[in-house]
């Protein structure tokens, strides 16, 4: 019982991290039909930036904020310089982001080397949290990830459904041309969404770099899991990402706990199952 609960919590906290990262990917895709395959590289760079800021400022919170803002700016730069001129051709855009991810991975290897980094957990997140039943204790740091993901999720949801800006985004998803015809400056909206989506990857990197480690290859791993999460949940839907992240997190952790040799196969099987029944993902809309 206690083992199952612990594994369940492992799954949920991992899902929280996947949600943070993949929600940025899906936000950008939902608005602009841009698949940012450099998202994994953004995650890793976010982690590195968070680490560097933490080293200098001794403040974990500042590290998180710094990572989010820095990666938001990197994303914005990539969008404005490279992608905007070809944004109508979704395939070409996706390929350019692969190139960017390659360059970033190589440059990060040059600056940070091949060793693993980890952000130092702040004192108030150290130690374990006692649930007070079934003898369940769990690391505070990982529970914080879960809380953070829920807060970010609710904030995103409120932002998209309750604000004027969110209304523009939703309208843009449905009919981009009509939105710009009503006099809204779609360019600014696009830039803002790209900033926000990338910032989420950076934030995810700093948070993930605290719980887990950062090293070359982490970028590909998180890109892969983000892709699986959005493929399972449905591209372009924030709720879909939440559902996908929870499913992928739970399936992979329970598989790892009970039948470790099958962990990645079962994650893959989940994706196949969803695609076989609903090619557009659980909450995705048919293209």
Partner 1 sequence: MSQLIDTKRRRTNWVAFGIVLALLIVFPFVVPRPQFWVVSVGLRSLWLGIVSMSLIWLAKTTGMLSLGQLTFWGVSGYMVAALSTTGDMHYGLSLPLAVLAGTAVGFLVALICVRTQGVYFLMLTLAVSQLGYFLVLQAASLTGGFEGIGGIRRPELFGLSFNDRNVLYFVALAAAVGCYLLCRYIARTPFGLALEGVRDSPERMQALGYNVYWYRVAAFTFSSFLASISGVLALFYHGRITPGAVDMVRSVDVLIVSVLGGIGSIAGAFLGSTGLTILQNFSQHPAIPVRRLTLTGVIFVLVLLFFPGGIVGLSDQARRAWTRFRGRGETSDDDPEQEEPGQEAAGTGTAAARG
**Binding residues for partner 1 (CB under 8 A):** 33, 35, 37, 82, 85-86, 89-92, 94-96, 98-100, 102-103, 105-107, 110, 220, 223-224, 227-228, 230-231, 235, 261, 264-265, 267-268, 271-272, 275-276, 279, 287
Residue 163 DSSP label:
S
If phi > 0 it is left, if psi is from -120 to 50 it is alpha, else beta; for residue 234 that is left
The span from the CA of 228 to the CA of 234, in Å, is: 10
User: Minimum distance between the CB of residue 271 and partner 1, rounded to whole angstroms?
Assistant: 7
In the bound state with partner 1, the residue whose beta carbon lies nearer, of 140 and 278, is 278
Q: How far is the CB of 6 from partner 1 (least distance, A)?
A: 23
Rounded Cα gap, residues 48 and 43, in angstroms? 9
Nearer to partner 1, 25 or 250 (CB): 25
Q: Are 50 and 121 in contact (CB under 8 A)?
A: no
* Shortest reach from residue 233's CB to partner 1, in Å: 13
User: In which element (H, E) is residue 212 found?
Assistant: none
Give the residue ranges of DSSP H helices in 1-120: 2-32, 39-57, 60-78, 90-112
| Burial readout 216-244 (b: 16 or more C-beta within 10 A, e: otherwise) | bebbeebbebbbbbbbbbbbbbbebbbbb
Q: Are 71 and 45 in contact (CB under 8 A)?
A: yes
CA torsion through residues 237, 270, 218, 260, sign: positive
Region of 43 (left: φ > 0; alpha: ψ -120 to 50; beta: rest) is: alpha
Minimum Å gap between C-beta 39 and partner 1 is: 11
Residue 238 CA to residue 50 CA, distance in Å, equals 25
* Residues 203/242, Cβ–Cβ less than 8 Å: no
Report the sign of the C-alpha dihedral through residues 114, 115, 116, 122, in that order. negative
Nearer to partner 1, 189 or 256 (CB): 256
């Amino acid at each position: 019982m206690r083992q199952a609960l612990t594994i369940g919590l492992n799954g949920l906290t991992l899902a929280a991290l996947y949600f943070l990262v993949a929600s940025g990917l899906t936000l950008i895709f939902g608005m602009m039909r841009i698949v940012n395959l450099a998202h994994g590289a953004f995650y890793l760079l976010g982690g590195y930036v968070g680490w560097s800021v933490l080293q200098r400022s001794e403040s974990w919170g500042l590290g998180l904020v710094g990572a989010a803002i820095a990666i938001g700016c990197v994303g914005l730069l990539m969008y404005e310089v490279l992608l905007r001129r070809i944004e109508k051709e979704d395939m070409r855009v996706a390929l350019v982001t692969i190139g960017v991810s390659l360059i970033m991975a190589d440059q990060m290897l040059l600056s940070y080397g091949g060793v693993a980094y980890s952000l130092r957990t702040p004192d108030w997140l150290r130690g374990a949290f006692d649930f007070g039943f079934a003898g369940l204790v769990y690391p505070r740091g990982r529970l914080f990830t879960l809380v953070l993901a829920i807060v970010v999720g609710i904030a995103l949801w409120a932002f998209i459904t309750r604000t004027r800006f969110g209304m523009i985004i939703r309208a843009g998803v449905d009919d981009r041309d009509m939105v710009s015809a009503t006099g809204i400056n779609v360019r600014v909206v696009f830039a803002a969404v790209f900033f926000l989506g990338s910032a989420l990857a950076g934030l995810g990197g700093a948070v993930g770099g605290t719980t887990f480690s950062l090293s070359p290859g982490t970028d590909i791993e998180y890109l892969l899991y983000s892709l699986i999460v959005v493929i399972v949940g449905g591209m372009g839907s924030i709720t879909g990402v939440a559902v996908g992240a929870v499913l992928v997190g739970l399936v992979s952790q329970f598989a790892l706990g009970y039948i470790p040799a099958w962990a990645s196969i079962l994650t893959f099987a989940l994706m196949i199952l969803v695609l076989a029944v609903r090619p557009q993902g659980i909450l995705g809309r048919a293209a």
